[in-house]
Amino acid sequence: MGILKQNLAKKIPDWRYNYRQLLDEKGDHVTSTVTIEKAFSGMRGVKGIICDTSSVTADAGLHVRGHHILDLIHIKPEEVLYLMLIDELPDKKSLKALQQDLQARSEVPDYVWDVLNSMPKDSHPMAMFNTAILCMQKESKFAKAYELVVSKSDYWESTLDDGLNIIAKLPAIAAAVYRLRFNKGERIESNNDLDWSGNFLHMMGFDQSKDMLKMMQLYLMLHCDHEGGNVSTFSSLTVNSALSDPYYSLSAGLNGLAGPLHGLANQNNLKFVLEVVEHFKGVPSDKELKEFVWDRLNSGRVIPGYGHAVLRCPDPRFTAFMGFGNKHIKDCDVFSVVTKLFNIVPDILKQHGKAKNPWPNVDAASGSLLYHYGLKEFEFYTVLFSMSRSLGIVSQMVLSRAMGLPLTRPKSLTFDALNKL
Ligand code: HAX
């Protein structure tokens, strides 16, 4: 039995007891009220779903299992996965056991390469990545367990198996998408002496420079989770609540991450930054940059990487990336423009008067670091986000099955019904 299954099996009985007790004692407690305005505003602020892996506050951002994200920037993606699932950071032995478990599950079936090879050469990397996950659905342990009428209380075990099997394969799949889509040559075999992030860089064909490895570990850790209501996680969990297996559920949610208002904002942000550098043949003055930003806003376009549905402060994940960049990057026009944008965009958005949150989100800085280290194909960036977000989505699916959460089914109302209210 893998380390996560072993430790979850110890924790789940108490968690179930606590959930049941809360329901028995306070089940009729009101968490929020829903108004017509909320129904028309994408349910902003409606507290109607459960997420234990992380929480987001408007003024401080992401906390993973109670730890503020800026206190976790030294840990690896594998460690944050363990933390989200077990509610404790792993010791060295547990981390090693988890890494070995992932390595043992990492071989990708050959038919995945056939599927990727047969896709149109100009497919978006996100379409390729999500197709690769979906086409492995027949491997699902959960689907088989369900067919065999496994007890509902054990659903979490095969969900965890599926989730780990997918996570273990993501570095090879993402690296293959990168090499195929951007004509980088043959796939590179995995090196199982390396950790999840290191092996990924190796299979992408990048040198294992210490700084780049650190940057990739940070990138793949920081995007891991953002509570339960964001489009990708919410979509995955909704699909999973129908007892669709993790292959169906994860790929469904990641299709949402491919939207420009969500994860695709990282590619669009870097595209925008490159447009600035190209237009001014380098770093513009503050005045020039202000005009450029206003022109974009006045043409009805958003500033990618700014604004957020929940946050009302600079995203601490942005702060973490800027901290890394300020320490490691010198004389880079792209990073300088990102820094300048941070100095001028919030004031402009305040004057513009629409965005409720004028501050940068995670997508405003990440691309400039990737670009600096030579990963310049910005259409690929959301795939990296997806690798990381899969850690949180899988964790949330496992916990939902462990707690026996039911089918998600909010009630909708017609326009007429609302009028009659
Ligand atoms: N630039 C220009 N206008 C913006 C804006 C921005 N960065 N952010 C919000 N606005 C506008 C909205 O388009 C909206 O305009 P309309 O009333 O004309 O529709 C208005 O301000 C109110 O929006 P809001 O309530 O502040 O924001 P929402 O909760 O509706 O949306 C978004 C949040 C993140 C989608 C939004 O801020 C946005 O479009 N930002 C740019 C894209 C982006 O960076 N997305 C990534 C977000 C983080 C994430 O999920 N990463 O995966």
Distance CA 102, CA 309 (A): 34
- CA of residue 366 to ligand 1 center, whole Å: 18
Closest among 282, 108, 284 to 189, alpha carbons compared: 108
% the chain with pLDDT above 90: 98
Does residue 308 have an active-site annotation? yes
Looking at residue 127, its pLDDT comes to 98
Residue 114 burial by Cβ neighbours in a 10 Å radius (0-12, 13-18, 19+): exposed
Q: Report residue 21's pLDDT band, with 50, 70 and 90 as the boundaries.
A: very high
Regarding the beta carbon of 262 and ligand 1, being less than 6 Å apart is answered yes
Distance, CA 355 to ligand 1 centroid (Å)?
Answer: 6
Give how far Cα 273 sits from Cα of 170, 217, 296, 326, 331, Å: 28, 24, 12, 17, 15
Active site residue 226: no
Range 340-352 average pLDDT: 98
* N-term to C-term CA, the chain: 54
pLDDT at res. 239: 98
- Whether 290 has a pLDDT exceeding 90, the answer reads yes
Which among 226, 306, 310 is the best mutation to test ligand 1's pocket, defined by most ligand atoms within 8 Å of the CB?
Answer: 306
∠ CA 315-320-324, nearest 5°, is 145
Nearest to 80 by CA among 170, 202, 167, 18: 167
Enter the tokens of residue 211.
């700084």
Q: Given ligand 1 and candidates 224, 236, 261, which is best to mutate, with the most ligand atoms within 8 Å of its CB?
A: 261
Catalytic residue, chosen from 63, 202, 226, 308, is 308
pLDDT at position 300 is: 96
Specify the DSSP element, H or E, that contains 118.
Answer: helix 110-118
| Residue of 54, 226, 302 best suited for mutating to test ligand 1, as the one with most atoms within 8 Å of CB | 302
Residues in the chain, total: 421
**Has residue 80 got a pLDDT over 90?**
yes
DSSP conformation class of 109: P
Structure tokens at 79: 């460690």
Per-residue pLDDT band at 221 (split at 50, 70, 90): very high
Residue 364: which pLDDT band, with cuts at 50, 70 and 90?
A: very high
Write the CB contacts of 384 (distance below 8 Å, at least 6 apart in sequence).
Answer: 174, 219, 220, 223, 370
Q: Look at the block and give the residue holding tokens 């992408």.
A: 204
364 CB less than 6 Å from ligand 1?
no
Mean pLDDT value across residues 138-153:
96
- CA distance linking residue 213 with residue 196, whole number of Å: 11
- Given the residues 124, 223, 262, 372, the one annotated as active site: 262
Instruction: List the strands of the sheet with 54-57, edge to edge.
Output: 54-57, 61-64, 67-68
Interval 373-408: pLDDT, tens: 999 999 999 999 999 999 999 999 999 999 999 999
Q: What is the pLDDT at residue 210?
A: 83
* Known active-site residue 363: yes
Q: pLDDT tens digit string along 99-140?
A: 999 999 999 999 999 999 999 999 999 999 999 999 999 999
Sign of the C-alpha dihedral, residues 193, 194, 200, 203? negative
pLDDT at 208: 78
Assess whether the C-beta atom of 171 lies below 6 angstroms from ligand 1. no
Whole-structure pTM value:
0.97
When pLDDT is averaged across residues 70-80 and rounded to a whole number, the result is 98
Distance 333 CA to ligand 1 centre (A): 26
Contact 241, 157 (CB under 8 A): no
- State the pLDDT at residue 209: 83
294 pLDDT higher than 90: yes
The angle at the Cα of 298, spanning 293 to 299, to the nearest 5 degrees, equals 100
The residue whose C-alpha atom lies closest to atom 11 belonging to ligand 1 is 355
To 10 degrees, the CA torsion angle through 264, 204, 277, 128?
A: -30
CATH number of the structural domain 265-372: 1.10.230.10
Is residue 365 very low, low, confident or very high in pLDDT (cuts 50, 70, 90)? very high
Please answer whether residues 196 and 171 qualify as being in contact, where contact means their C-beta atoms are separated by less than 8 angstroms.
yes
Measured CA distances, 263 to 97, 117, 126, 385 (Å): 31, 25, 10, 7
For the CA of 269, the closest atom of ligand 1 is 44
What is 304-366 written as a DSSP string? Answer: TTB--SS--S--HHHHHHHHHHHHH--S-HHHHHHHHHHHHHHHHHHHHT--S--SB-GGGTH
Question: Is the model's pLDDT at 74 over the cut of 90?
Answer: yes
CA–CA separation, 260 and 307 (whole Å)? 13
Q: Quick one: which atom of ligand 1 is closest to the CA of 315?
A: 48
3-class secondary-structure state, position 124: coil
Which helix or strand (DSSP H or E) is residue 180 part of?
helix 155-181
Q: Are 137 and 245 in contact (CB under 8 A)?
A: yes
The reply to whether ligand 1 has any atom less than 6 angstroms from the CB of 302 is yes
Predicted local confidence at residue 226, as pLDDT: 98
Q: What is the pLDDT of residues 320-330, one digit of tens each?
A: 999 999 999 98
Q: What is the mean pLDDT of residues 249-276?
A: 96
Amino acid at 298: N
What pLDDT digit, counting tens, does each position of 84-109 carry?
999 999 999 999 999 999 999 999 99
The structural domains of the chain, with segments of one domain joined by +, span 265-372
Query: Ligand 1, atom 19: nearest CA belongs to which residue?
Result: 354
Average pLDDT, the chain: 97
Out of 8-22, 131-145, 196-210, which region has the weakest mean confidence (pLDDT)?
196-210
- Residue 63 banded pLDDT, cuts 50, 70, 90: very high
Report d(CA 260, CA 250) in Å as an integer.
19
